Amino acid sequence: MKKAVIFSMVTALVMATVAAVQAQQRDGISIVGSSTVYPFATVVAEKFGKAGTFKAPKIESTGTGGGFKLFCGGVGIQHPDISNASRAIKASEFEACRKNGVTDIVEVKIGYDGIVVANSKKTPALKLTSKDIFLALAKEVPDPKGGENLVANPYKTWKDVNASLPNVKIEVLGPPPTSGTRDAFIELAMEPGALKFEPLKKLSKEDAKKFTKLFSSIREDGAYIEAGENDNLIVQKLGANPNALGIFGFSFLDQNTDKIQGSFVDGNQPTFENIASGKYPLSRPLFFYVKKAHVGVIPGIKEYLAEFTSEKAWGKDGYLSEKGLIPMPDAERKQVAENVKATKAMTEVK
Amino acid sequence: MLTLTRMDETALAHTMVETDSKPRSGDDPGKRRVSREIRETVGRVTVDDPRMVCRNVNVYYGDKQAIKNVSVDIGRNEVLAMIGPSGCGKSTFIRCLNRMNDTIDGCRVTGEIILDGTNIYDKSVDVVPLRAQVGMVFQKPNPFPKSIYENVAYGPRIHGLARNKAELDECVETSLRKAGLWEEVKDRLDHPGTGLSGGQQQRLCIARTIAVNPEVILMDEPCSALDPIATSVIEDLIDELRIQYSICIVTHSMQQAARVSQRTAYFHLGDLIEVGPTGRIFTNPSHQLTQDYITGRFG
Amino acid sequence: MNNTLSPPAASPPRRTIEIVNRSLKRRYRAERRFRFYGLLAIMLSVLFLALLFASIVGKGYSAFWQTSIRLAIFFDPEVIKKDTLVNADYAALVRESLFKRFPQVEERQDKRQLTSMLSSGSVYRLRDMVLQDPDLVGKTAEVWLPADDDMDMLIKGHFRRDLPESERRVSDKQIAWIERLEAEGRLERRFNTMFLTAGDSREPELAGIWGAVSGSFFTLVITLVLSFPIGVAAAVYLEEFAKKNRWTDLIEVNINNLAAVPSIVFGLLGLAVFLNFFGLPRSAPLVGGLVLTLMTLPTIIIASRSALTAVPPSIREAALGVGASKMQMVVHHVLPLALPGMLTGTIIGMARALGESAPLLMIGMVAFIVDIPKGFTDSATVLPVQIYLWADSPERAFVERTSAAIMVLLAFLVVMNAGAIILRKKFERRW
């Protein structure tokens, strides 16, 4: 008997909480999206929350695509207010948003992230070109003997790829296909590398689809090792294996300068200055997207945007740069900040 | 009472092979007994003032028939002993008397067992009051893992027999006294019942049973796990309890049956072979199988 | 066999005892071998366990100490006005104090380096002090402020000082300042209370696990409150009341299957049912608890059922024999005896739920949350998720914090499992 009473009480309690929760309003900003933007967005969120006026926003690291899926779910407190992205929104995602009533979206470009190809400090830094990277990592490359034929990647050592490189086995630790970093790496390093070959350049004009497939296919014979999403793990493995190279975000290099070094790509090392000035080629813009319909409904969104786009955050000496975010040029920052202030919604996907 | 009469008639109609009509000559070894092949019950199954009446009881475990057409009465203030070799169905039968077999999946009982004019297998009968009326003591002493007091008080408590603590205390004391355990445990009623010796545990179980004040007590080999001294204590107890209750006891020991019972029923492979006054069964059985069993030819 | 060993014609009939004696040695050898393998297996597992603990504790223990710097802070009434207690520029107080201590630092770049030696959290520390005691304004106080994580790493020896300046995150000047502060007794490694009392932060020196511990607590409360009664009720019904037929067999098979379903599936289910259908909030311990309830229920049901079957039938017969109803038999006798087993199963299920992060990913509990959750519907994260998030952070100081968080999680698991053993011992009764 007693048990039954307790049981029914518990059930009632749970029902009551459920009912209460459904009626409740959300008082904090909800942010989803890219794991690359996550380290920067969280810093802003923390400062913003600790300032005391608003609750610190909640930030989920769902990946860019997963973030847009949630973000475009609709308007209302159960849907997130902001989606972080390590690439611009796609037309298909924009369309999906529209279909669910998310019509007014404010795009905020926040800066750049560098992708580095790094190795242990125990060995000298490599001087690579995008052509070398393509030859070392593509699944199929132009026949080294000449001609227009494509052959399965025959290169075993870096010296095979380029005589000026050391005679060590090609061994690259990098992100898996699900990662945004890998997408960016393919776009920024592999594609330009492939375009250095005349026959492939011709192919890109004749059959874009085939060309895309060619430069985005990474070799699967063991030279490229998928190391999971955890960049710290790659850094640790580089320490243990001085001959291996690793591909990851600039902030991890920035934090581990005593252990690892970035390889030169097309003559420039990945330093803060080189990425900011655009000399280092492997860098990509980072964004976040704001649901305009939530501005003014969820408390603090405007203020969060103001914090993020303030000079002390994303400026040249701002605290985000300390975390590894490469700031945009002054004029561009000013332009974006003004757009944000006016919450100017984007009209179309570029 | 009307039902009872009708039952007697049906029973008589198809069970008994009357032994009274046969010549009788004491311990004559050459005496004619009912032959081994015959499975109808020999002897008088009825008593003049029965407490429980069983007629044509069949028990099936799935497809297997464990009890075949058994009819027997249990008299007031008597001890009816059930004996027989292992697997003869005596335990199965005694468990029918308070519907303990209900708990076994696939067990089916047909026939009638009448208590106070009602068939206890009738759909309208509730097993809870039935078991309060027909108590049971099991083969292995099985006190609850609670205190001695709680063991005895449990029955009265769930049935609401005591109105207050004083009444409950009194009921516990009387029951323990009747079971002959009071003197041994009165100073440690809060000790666990499982801490007692085997014989004491069994007497505790008897006390627990009689605390509910049943009318019939079923005992399923109550002494099989006990030493001779404990056994003799229990046997004396059974004899005393007979004054107040009807007792039905299953035993694998013929000597025990001879010591404690007034009537004895001999079971063989699911058949009730012979029923009769204990003295006669053990000295001059009418059925050849009974004779074989008590003389130790098998069993 | 025998023929090859001993031709029947040649050897005389042998006694059994001779054959037995002959094989005796082999039999004992086999036994010794087996015991050796067993011992080896146990030693191996103990070794790996010791390695695991050693590596985690070795990496993580230093996170419980945090480098702090003592500064004389003048709570300047010019900076802290009555109406701006909350928003005052406390960073200016820290700067002033530092510049006073190192007057020779003049260049802008150097000043930046100097101020960056202190954690950005110093500001909040000072603010809280003033809010608590407004009379401080106008006075000077010696305050221990947390050092920046890079300084902390340097002091703890995780950064090497002998590397060229360009290859480390701490400059030569900073090292010189640090050494001076150390010499003056203004730099100390103090017990890191922050780590145990604060919520998550992106600054390693400010990050704490209390937010995650609270989140785990609220989540597990929901899980326990729901899964224990439901699990026990289901087990009792299936074991004691339900008829054994094809349907109950089917249910049993399904429960056993559910226990083996990967936990992420429960996360997907939770997303579809609790978030999308019932509209419960994302990231809330309430939903996390519900999802983990689904996950632990099969474990609890299976453990409870085996605990029920272990109750000897004689106890049931005894209860039924005195006229207890089935419900009374179960509640008064069977349940108390089965309870230790059920509790053990429940605690093991809870321990598994405590260590689970995959199903919580789908319902938004893998998130950066600064505020410490105060209730079942506040946004929260849990311990294993916190570990995962820290392990993925670029800052070096998070390495030791990750290990320290693992130590805390392991401590909880050990406490829970020890609790299971104690409960079992306490309630265990002989029959």
Query: Does C395 touch chain A if contact means CB atoms closer than 8 Å?
Result: yes
CA–CA gap between residue C198 and residue A255 (Å, rounded): 24
User: Can you give the pLDDT at residue A3?
Assistant: 62
Tell me the pLDDT of chain C averaged across its residues: 89
Reading the block at residue C352, the tokens are 């598994």
3-class SS at B272?
strand
CA–CA gap between residue C370 and residue A54 (Å, rounded): 12
Find out whether C425 and C252 touch, Cβ atoms under 8 Å. Answer: no
Select from B105, B131, B194 the Cβ nearest to the Cβ of C322.
B131
Find out whether C150 and C173 touch, Cβ atoms under 8 Å. Answer: no
DSSP secondary structure letter of residue C311: S
Q: Nearest-CA neighbor of B148 among B90, B214, B78, B196?
A: B196
pLDDT in tens, C360-414: 988 989 899 998 999 898 889 999 999 999 998 888 899 999 999 999 999 999 9
Tell me whether residues C163 and A46 touch, CB distance under 8 A.
no
The length of chain B is: 299
Which one of C322, C328, C330 makes the best mutation probe of the B interface by having the most chain B beta carbons within 10 Å? C322
* Cα distances (angstroms) measured from residue A341 to each of A110, A200, A329, A345, C68: 14, 45, 18, 11, 40
- CB burial class (10 A; 0-12, 13-18, 19+) of residue A287? buried
Select from A3, A232, A257 the Cβ nearest to the Cβ of C169.
A257
Select from A21, A229, A256 the Cβ nearest to the Cβ of C377.
A21
Please give the average per-residue pLDDT across B256-270, as a whole number.
92
CA–CA gap between residue C267 and residue C189 (Å, rounded): 42
Kindly report the number of other CB atoms within 10 A of residue C72's CB atom. 12
Q: Rounded to a whole number, what is the distance in Å from the CA of C243 to chain A's nearest CA?
A: 22
Domain edges within chain C: 2-61, 64-197, 210-427
Quick one: pLDDT band at residue C429, thresholds 50, 70, 90?
low
Q: At residue C103, does pLDDT exceed 60?
A: yes
**Residues of A whose CB is below 8 A from C159:** 258
**Residues of C whose CB is below 8 A from B132:** 322-323
In total, the C-beta contacts within 8 angstroms joining chain B to chain C are: 70
Find out whether A124 and A131 touch, Cβ atoms under 8 Å. Answer: no
For C354-380, the DSSP string reads HT--HHHHHTT-SEE--SPP-STTS--
Q: Rounded to a whole number, what is the distance in Å from the CA of A232 to chain C's nearest CA?
A: 6
Q: At residue C125, does pLDDT exceed 60?
A: yes
Q: Rounded to a whole number, what is the distance in Å from the CA of C176 to chain A's nearest CA?
A: 19
For B169-219, the DSSP string reads HHHHHHHHHHTT-HHHHTT-TTSBGGGS-HHHHHHHHHHHHHHT--SEEEE
Reading the block at residue A298, the tokens are 């969820």
CATH architecture entry for B2-16+38-142+213-294: 3-Layer(aba) Sandwich (3.40)
User: Can you give the pLDDT at residue C165?
Assistant: 80
Assign domain C210-427 one CATH number from 3.40.50.10090, 1.10.3720.10, 1.20.1730.10, 3.40.50.2000. 1.10.3720.10
Non-local (6+) Cβ contacts of B72 within 8 A are: B41, B45, B54, B80, B265, B272, B275
Non-local (6+) Cβ contacts of C246 within 8 A are: none
At residue A245, φ and ψ (nearest 5 deg) are -110, 155
Which one of A38, A58, A81, A298 makes the best mutation probe of the C interface by having the most chain C beta carbons within 10 Å? A58
All residue ranges of chain A with pLDDT < 70 are: 1-4, 7, 10, 12-25, 229, 350
Q: Are strands B107-115 and C187-191 parallel, antiparallel or unpaired?
A: unpaired
Between residues 59 and 118 of chain C, which touch chain A (CB distance below 8 Å)?
86-87, 112, 116
- CB burial class (10 A; 0-12, 13-18, 19+) of residue A165? middle
CA–CA gap between residue C78 and residue C95 (Å, rounded): 15
CA–CA gap between residue C155 and residue A318 (Å, rounded): 26
CA–CA gap between residue C407 and residue C401 (Å, rounded): 10
Type of residue numbered C318? A
User: Can you give the pLDDT at residue A258?
Assistant: 83
C contact chains, 3+ CB pairs < 8 A: A, B
User: Can you give the pLDDT at residue C160?
Assistant: 82
% of chain C with per-residue pLDDT over 70: 96
Tell me whether residues C394 and A324 touch, CB distance under 8 A.
yes
Find out whether A46 and A320 touch, Cβ atoms under 8 Å. Answer: no
CA–CA gap between residue A26 and residue A298 (Å, rounded): 7
Quick one: pLDDT band at residue B12, thresholds 50, 70, 90?
very low
User: Can you give the pLDDT at residue B106?
Assistant: 85
CA–CA gap between residue A275 and residue A325 (Å, rounded): 10
Which one of A6, A10, A22, A42 makes the best mutation probe of the C interface by having the most chain C beta carbons within 10 Å? A42
3-class SS at B99?
coil
Quick one: pLDDT band at residue B182, thresholds 50, 70, 90?
very high
Tell me whether residues A254 and C225 touch, CB distance under 8 A.
no
Q: At residue B227, does pLDDT exceed 70?
A: yes
Which one of A5, A232, A253, A307 makes the best mutation probe of the C interface by having the most chain C beta carbons within 10 Å? A232
Q: Rounded to a whole number, what is the distance in Å from the CA of B240 to chain C's nearest CA?
A: 21
User: Can you give the pLDDT at residue C135?
Assistant: 86
Q: At residue B269, does pLDDT exceed 60?
A: yes
Q: Nearest-CA neighbor of C318 among A37, B246, B137, A23?
A: B137
Q: At residue C149, does pLDDT exceed 50?
A: yes
B contact chains, 3+ CB pairs < 8 A: C
pLDDT in tens, C272-303: 999 888 888 888 999 999 999 999 999 999 99
Find out whether A289 and A67 touch, Cβ atoms under 8 Å. Answer: no
CA–CA gap between residue A33 and residue A288 (Å, rounded): 8
Instruction: Say if B and A touch: at least 3 Cβ pairs within 8 Å.
Output: no
Reading the block at residue A295, the tokens are 């501005």
Kindly report the number of other CB atoms within 10 A of residue B149's CB atom. 19
Reading the block at residue B213, the tokens are 């004040």
The CB-side HSE value for C250 (13 A sphere, CA atoms) comes to: 3
Domain edges within chain B: 2-16+38-142+213-294
The residue with tokens 């110093």 is: C122
User: Can you give the pLDDT at residue B6?
Assistant: 41
**Residues of C whose CB is below 8 A from B145:** 315, 336-337, 429-431
What are the residues facing B213 on neighbouring strands? none
pLDDT in tens, C14-61: 788 888 888 898 999 999 999 999 999 999 999 999 999 999 999 999
Q: Rounded to a whole number, what is the distance in Å from the CA of A60 to chain C's nearest CA?
A: 4
Tell me whether residues A317 and C391 touch, CB distance under 8 A.
no
Kindly report the number of other CB atoms within 10 A of residue C20's CB atom. 10
Tell me whether residues A17 and C166 touch, CB distance under 8 A.
no
Quick one: pLDDT band at residue B205, thresholds 50, 70, 90?
very high
Select from C314, C328, C430 the Cβ nearest to the Cβ of B142.
C314
Tell me the pLDDT of chain B averaged across its residues: 86
Select from A22, A42, A257 the Cβ nearest to the Cβ of C167.
A257
CA–CA gap between residue B104 and residue B122 (Å, rounded): 18
3-class SS at B48?
coil
% of chain C with per-residue pLDDT over 90: 47
Q: At residue B104, does pLDDT exceed 80?
A: yes
Chain C positions touching chain B (beta carbons under 8 Å) = 244, 312, 314-325, 328, 332-333, 336-337, 429-431
Q: Nearest-CA neighbor of A244 among A121, A115, A114?
A: A121
Q: Are strands C140-146 and C65-74 parallel, antiparallel or unpaired?
A: antiparallel
For C44-106, the DSSP string reads HHHHHHHHHHHHHHHHHGGGGEEEEEEEEEE--TTTS-GGGTTTS-HHHHHHHHHHHHSTT--
Tell me whether residues C377 and A61 touch, CB distance under 8 A.
no
Quick one: pLDDT band at residue B258, thresholds 50, 70, 90?
very high
**Residues of B whose CB is below 8 A from C333:** 144
Non-local (6+) Cβ contacts of A294 within 8 A are: A75, A81, A301
pLDDT in tens, C198-254: 999 988 999 999 999 999 999 999 999 999 999 999 999 999 888 888 998 999 999
Q: Are strands C140-146 and A172-174 parallel, antiparallel or unpaired?
A: unpaired
Q: Rounded to a whole number, what is the distance in Å from the CA of B9 to chain C's nearest CA?
A: 32
ipTM for the predicted complex comes to: 0.82
Between residues 162 and 221 of chain C, which touch chain A (CB distance below 8 Å)?
163, 166-169, 201-203
The residue with tokens 């007692």 is: B196
Kindly list the structural domains of chain A, giving each domain's residue range(s) and its CATH number in brackets, ordered by start: 26-112+285-341 (3.40.190.10), 114-283 (3.40.190.10)
**Residues of C whose CB is below 8 A from A52:** 86-87
Type of residue numbered A253? L
**Residues of B whose CB is below 8 A from C242:** none
Q: Are strands C65-74 and C187-191 parallel, antiparallel or unpaired?
A: antiparallel
Which one of A38, A43, A47, A50 makes the best mutation probe of the C interface by having the most chain C beta carbons within 10 Å? A50
Tell me whether residues C368 and A232 touch, CB distance under 8 A.
no
Quick one: pLDDT band at residue B3, thresholds 50, 70, 90?
very low
Q: Rounded to a whole number, what is the distance in Å from the CA of B268 to chain C's nearest CA?
A: 26
